Amino acid sequence: MEVIKTEIPDVVIIQPKIFGDHRGYFFESFNLKTFNEKVIKTDFVQDNESKSSRGVLRGLHFQKPPYAQAKLVRCIKGCVLDVAVDIRVGSPTYGKYVAIELSEENKQQLFVPRGFAHGYSVLSEEAIFAYKVDNWYAPEYDSGIRWDDTDLGIDWKLEMEEVKLSEKDSNLLGLKDLESPFKY
């Protein structure tokens, strides 16, 4: 696997080595030993998967300590725009974000460390999205920031009328109203 740095050093793209021929393809989607050596030492405890239609936007989510989560995300089917926003107070990249298209074609993954809000928009007709997390889901520690926060200025690659949100995501606050529990 190749580790590709982004504009925010702690957020990295994982490009697996893909072996293909006339029968199809094979690749190793995760190897704990290699991940610990090349990215960060971690123990993922849960795998999650979601299926969504075009225009669905999920995010920007994070969990507060002590249930903060790092995520390793990928798109198994279709294409999504995946976004990680630095919400670590004191970070030189606070309020900055990384946005990358993850797809079944490129098979790339994005590692989103603790201290980042995460979200994605579905750009294909349908998408199946999978992610590993390094801490358990705790709904009482769940939080987030608005997807359309003008201070962030994220281009989700969707028309406004296409965006489909959950009620929870519709009611999130902007970054400037967030009292981030994360310190750099």
Tell me if 27 sits within 8 A of 99, measured CB to CB. Answer: no
Q: Which residue, 88, 92, 108, 89, is CA-closest to 100?
A: 108
Identified catalytic residue from 97, 118, 120, 131: 131
Distances (CA, A) of 153 to 85, 98, 102, 146, 180: 11, 12, 20, 11, 19
Identified catalytic residue from 22, 25, 61, 141: 61
Per the annotation, the verdict on 25 as an active-site residue is no
Per the annotation, the verdict on 61 as an active-site residue is yes
CA distance 15 to 40: 16
Q: How crowded is residue 31: how many other Cβ atoms within 10 Å of its Cβ? A: 12
- Going across the sheet that includes 57-63, the strands are 97-103, 79-86, 116-122, 57-63, 142-144
C-alpha torsion sign, points 37, 104, 116, 166: negative
Which residues participate in catalysis according to the annotation?
A: 61, 131
